[in-house]
Amino acid sequence: MTKQIAAIPGDGIGQEVLPAAIDVLEALDRDFEFVEGRAGNAVYEREGTPLPEETRELAREADATLFGAAGELAADIILPLRQDVESFANIRPARAYPGVDAVKPETDLVFVRENTQGVYAGFESDLTDDVATLTRLITEDASRKIAEYGFEYADEHDADRITVAHKANVMRKTDGLFVDTAAEVAEEMDVEYDEALIDALAMHLVLHPEDYDVIVTPNLAGDVLSDLAAGLVGGLGMLPSANVGDDNALFEPVHGSAPDIAGEGVANPSAMILSAAMMLEYFGYDEDGQRVRNAVETVLEDGPRTPDLGGDASTETFTDAVLEQL
Ligand SMILES: NC(=O)c1ccc[n+]([C@@H]2O[C@H](COP(=O)([O-])OP(=O)(O)OC[C@H]3O[C@@H](n4cnc5c(N)ncnc54)[C@H](O)[C@@H]3O)[C@@H](O)[C@H]2O)c1
Ligand SMILES: CC(C)[C@H](C(=O)O)[C@@H](O)C(=O)O
């Protein structure tokens, strides 16, 4: 059956890496219909909104969405889209590939980031001209949902270790509820896990990423720690992600619009192509997902590589090499 995919390139290198992923998906023996959705700075200038209702509707109705990247209006684009697909979990694998000059080649871990709450629930306001406030939201329901998802994910992927990240020593009520709920869920599911304070965890991740497997984290901590992990495995061009809900999902690289290299045709499309591989697995096309992963892995090992990885290949040359492997 045809799967309809909302394809939203967005800004900057989103316009360069999303077509690469579509080329790869089109090389597979699958029936995908790609429908392009408008979003980004240029759309804002033309239409007065960076994310037209039509694009949101497209994401809600599609079987899945592929998103490239957004620029300075990212919070007005990607956050509503993550809501539109009703995603509660943001899965961010960080893995070092052979041949890529990684700071920590032994890194192979996955962040399971809560995708709806924390400071992103967004009760921000100006109290006075010179005082601004932000209320942070954590609920037991959302904490339960992400803990259950993270523990099940760890089980399905034979993870050796599950870590629940929090800062309940300071945010006693909010992260206290997050971590206490995770403890309850672990007991009900008979799961072994450990807890880590986010600040110390950041240091341990830099020194010994090999000690970690699945890290369940509140929203903002997952955002920051996943970029940190990108730094361990060759940069932001390497980290894919899946925003998963009960009935819909959106797949996007962890990186942004990269204005410093946008338009040069040299962006590393690995993160976007690996996000497409996560979409294939979401549809149950596991063999295709693995084929795409293997093809990317081979090209990363043998070259050609893009400049962020020390090579001089263009996005197109890299993608052609992946297509050849397929
Ligand atoms: N989900 C999103 O759309 C998203 C995520 C993060 C940042 N942003 C937005 O992106 C803009 C730029 O933010 P930033 O510079 O902090 O982060 P960024 O991820 O765009 O770039 C950070 C650095 O990583 C490099 N980089 C990122 N992706 C790369 C790739 N695929 N290939 C090669 N190099 C790559 C960039 O060149 C840059 O040096 C901001 O306006 C921010 O709001 C959007
Ligand atoms: C741009 C921003 C809204 C987004 C986030 O905070 O989730 C980004 O940092 C990311 O990692 O995708």
DSSP state of 247: S
Determine the distance separating the centroid of ligand 2 and the alpha carbon of 31, expressed in angstroms.
Answer: 31
Q: Among candidates 143, 96, 149, 93, which has minimal Cα distance to 118?
A: 143
Determine the distance separating the centroid of ligand 2 and the alpha carbon of 146, expressed in angstroms.
Answer: 18
Whether 302 is a known active-site residue: answer no
Confidence of residue 12 (pLDDT cuts 50, 70, 90): very high
Atom of ligand 2 nearest to the CA of 227: 11
Tell the residue nearest (CA) to atom 2 of ligand 2.
75
pLDDT at residue 167, as a whole number: 98
Ligand closest in space to the Cα of 9:
1
Q: Rounded mean pLDDT of 126-151?
A: 97
Whether 126 is a known active-site residue: answer no
Q: Among candidates 87, 82, 11, which has minimal Cα distance to 42?
A: 11
pLDDT of 85 strictly over 80 = yes
Q: Rounded mean pLDDT of 168-188?
A: 98
Q: Is 260 in the pocket of ligand 1 (CB under 6 A)?
A: yes
Determine the distance separating the centroid of ligand 1 and the alpha carbon of 1, expressed in angstroms.
Answer: 35
Q: Rounded mean pLDDT of 186-208?
A: 98
pLDDT at residue 123, as a whole number: 82
Confidence of residue 49 (pLDDT cuts 50, 70, 90): very high
Alpha helices in the chain (DSSP H): 14-26, 41-47, 53-61, 74-84, 140-156, 174-189, 198-207, 219-232, 270-282, 286-302, 315-325
Q: Is 230 in the pocket of ligand 1 (CB under 6 A)?
A: no
Question: Is the pTM higher than 0.95?
Answer: yes
pLDDT at residue 58, as a whole number: 98
Determine the distance separating the centroid of ligand 1 and the alpha carbon of 178, expressed in angstroms.
Answer: 29
Q: Is 292 in the pocket of ligand 1 (CB under 6 A)?
A: no
Cα–Cα distances (Å) from 325 to 104, 253, 308, in that order, read: 26, 22, 21
Reported ipTM: the value is 0.99
DSSP state of 227: H
Whether 145 is a known active-site residue: answer no
Candidates 92, 100, 236: which one to mutate for ligand 1, based on the most atoms within 8 Å of Cβ? 236
Q: What is the DSSP string of 82-111?
A: HHHTTEEEEEEEEEPPTTS--S-TT-EEEE
Structural domains of the chain sorted by starting position, each given as residue range(s) with its CATH number in brackets? 1-87+244-325 (3.40.718.10), 103-233 (3.40.718.10)
Rounded to a whole number of angstroms, the CA Rg of the chain reads: 19
Atom of ligand 2 nearest to the CA of 70: 1
Residues 6+ apart with CB under 8 A from 311: 303, 304, 305
Please state, rounded to an integer, the average pLDDT across all residues of the chain: 97
C-alpha to C-alpha distance for 215 and 200, rounded to whole angstroms:
14
Is the four-CA dihedral 26, 31, 32, 33 of positive or negative sign? Answer: positive
Q: Rounded mean pLDDT of 119-128?
A: 90
pLDDT at residue 1, as a whole number: 87
Whether 199 is a known active-site residue: answer yes
Is the four-CA dihedral 169, 170, 173, 175 of positive or negative sign? Answer: negative
pLDDT of 122 strictly over 80 = no
The one catalytic residue among 11, 175, 223, 288 = 223
Atom of ligand 2 nearest to the CA of 90: 7
Confidence of residue 237 (pLDDT cuts 50, 70, 90): very high
The answer to whether 269 and 20 have CB atoms below 8 angstroms apart is yes
Confidence of residue 50 (pLDDT cuts 50, 70, 90): very high
Tell the residue nearest (CA) to atom 9 of ligand 2.
223
Determine the distance separating the centroid of ligand 2 and the alpha carbon of 270, expressed in angstroms.
Answer: 18
pLDDT of 179 strictly over 90 = yes
Q: What is the DSSP string of 306-317?
A: -GGGT----HHH
C-alpha to C-alpha distance for 55 and 184, rounded to whole angstroms:
39
Atom of ligand 1 nearest to the CA of 227: 19
Q: Among candidates 90, 126, 125, 87, which has minimal Cα distance to 110?
A: 90
pLDDT of 34 strictly over 90 = yes
Please write the tens of the pLDDT for every residue from 243-292: 999 999 999 999 999 999 999 999 999 999 999 999 999 999 999 999 99
CA 89 to mean position of chain CA atoms: 10
Q: Is 138 in the pocket of ligand 1 (CB under 6 A)?
A: no
Whether 227 is a known active-site residue: answer yes
